Amino acid sequence: MRQSKKDVESHLLEPEDHYNYDDSDYEDAVGEAAEYYRQEIQNGPSNGNVRLNHSTAALAATIVGAGIVALPRAFAALGLIPGMAIFMVIFGLAMFSLSALIRAATSAECWTYDELANSQFGKVGARSLDFAIIANNSGSMIIYLIIMGDVLVGAPPHYSGIITNLFGIHSGDVWWVSRPFVMAIVCVAFLGPLVSLRNLKMLGPMSTVAVIVAGCLVSSVALLAGAAGFEGKLGDFNWLPNKALLGDTVSEIVITLLSILPVITMSFVCHYNLLPVANNLERFTERRISMVIRRALSICTVLFSVLAVSGVLLFGSSTEANILLNLRPEAVEEYISPVAASLLCFAIRLAYCVCLMSTFAMLNWALRETLTNLIFGVRMLQGNGFLWKSYAIVFVEYLVSILFPNVWKAMSLTGATAAVYVSYILPGALILSVHGSGMKDNILGGVCVVLGVIMSVVGVVKTLFLS
């Protein structure tokens, strides 16, 4: 792509050099710029056409998902101070693992996650990544369906969802407002058409929508917490760990703390979409994709931390595993007028539900490609095979979400296995395996691998056998 004079100057000249140079200096700068971009393009993916801000929105939209609604519960158990401290540690590890993934891809000159794993660890590495993506994406999609069911129908004993509130039926016994029937309609009428789209660009605008909706949710909860604080009605929150939620003995506390970490780490999972974003970034360089990573993680960290702290301040130890269940009109009426409470809760739930529908289709895209490659040896089926595979995935996810409507357990199990592997174990192993990594990178890579293994083992044991 032809570079403008301004682009060349911005890369090669310091600010004070912009004023004093003659034609020969500029010709030298042009030559150096051409060599600079030639080397960058040789070591990076083919240039895409997505601007930096749009790439940031796409990566941020991948990060903002189901995990955001479970974070307040994690902070309620950990306490505000330890919760924020652990959250920032996880943020730092996520930043490192994403940057390490880019450095490993640049060094190996592989620009899909599957190719990168195959280049360093052979078919075993590639297949293990495929199965991790299948587990992570399918688990996330199930969680999305569970949350949509909570939003539209509600959960016992309140059944305070959009549809149940609209018709004034707060019972799970009426079939036409029950979770199985309502979610079947959602899958057929909305998710089916979305997953049948063959062009990923048609889902692009949803990235910005997802971030905006998350921002609205966070702002609403923060404003409610401010109103509650002004009226002296804050919840029974804890600055330090809540023993009632963590357990009584030392071993119970340790196991519970380690099982909460995967729930937090799942909030930052976007690694399977990082290399596609890099592939489509306009004028790719490591510096530009690093800017995308930093901006996306920073935006999401602010959103996540404000929501988690505000939610705990507002609801205290009564914080639900899905904070949307706390945002019922009858609960919010304590802080604002009944009419405003009803409108606010309705708007938050409906907007977030629409966001989940759109991001569900984006997750389905990566899952469908991975399954198709494993079974048929190609990335995408042609003709009706594409549609039938898409609908089959949605049908299976629907069945699982109806049979296991517990978002906390699903988040813990998925976060403890596939999410930790994709986000920490594999990136850490990749940076350790790439020739030329510095001591700092090797240490942090080892930390990612060790911490990931510990979180996986303890999280699985806690979720399956101790809860």
pLDDT tens figures, 160-206: 788 887 888 877 788 898 899 999 999 999 999 888 877 656 666 77
> What six digits make up the tokens of 305?
């931390």
In contact, 131 and 392? CB cutoff 8 Å: no
Q: What is the pLDDT of residue 461?
A: 78
**Amino acid in position 282:** E
Please, what is the Cα angle at 44 between 38 and 46, to 5 degrees? 85
The low-confidence residues of the chain, meaning pLDDT below 50, are 1-42
> What DSSP letter does each residue of 296-349 carry, written as one string?
HHHHHHHHHHHHHHHHHHHHGGG--SSGGGT--HHHHTTTS-HHHHHHHHHHHH
d(CA 93, CA 447): 9
**Is residue 158 packed enough to be buried (19+ CB in 10 Å), middle (13-18) or exposed (0-12)?**
middle
**What does pTM read for this prediction?**
0.78
Q: Which pLDDT score, from 0 to 100, does residue 84 have? A: 92
Please tell me the number of Cα atoms within 13 Å of 7 on its side-chain side.
10
Which among 176, 178, 191 has a CA at the least distance from the CA of 144?
191
Query: What are the backbone dihedrals phi and psi of residue 281, each rounded to the nearest 5 degrees, phi first?
Result: -75, 135
Q: What is the pLDDT of residue 46?
A: 58
pLDDT value for 296: 92
pLDDT value at residue 35: 47
Q: Please, are residues 185 and 388 in contact by the beta-carbon 8 Å criterion?
A: no
The structure tokens listed for 214 are: 């998350």
- State the pLDDT at residue 310: 93
Tokens read off for 418: 């596939």
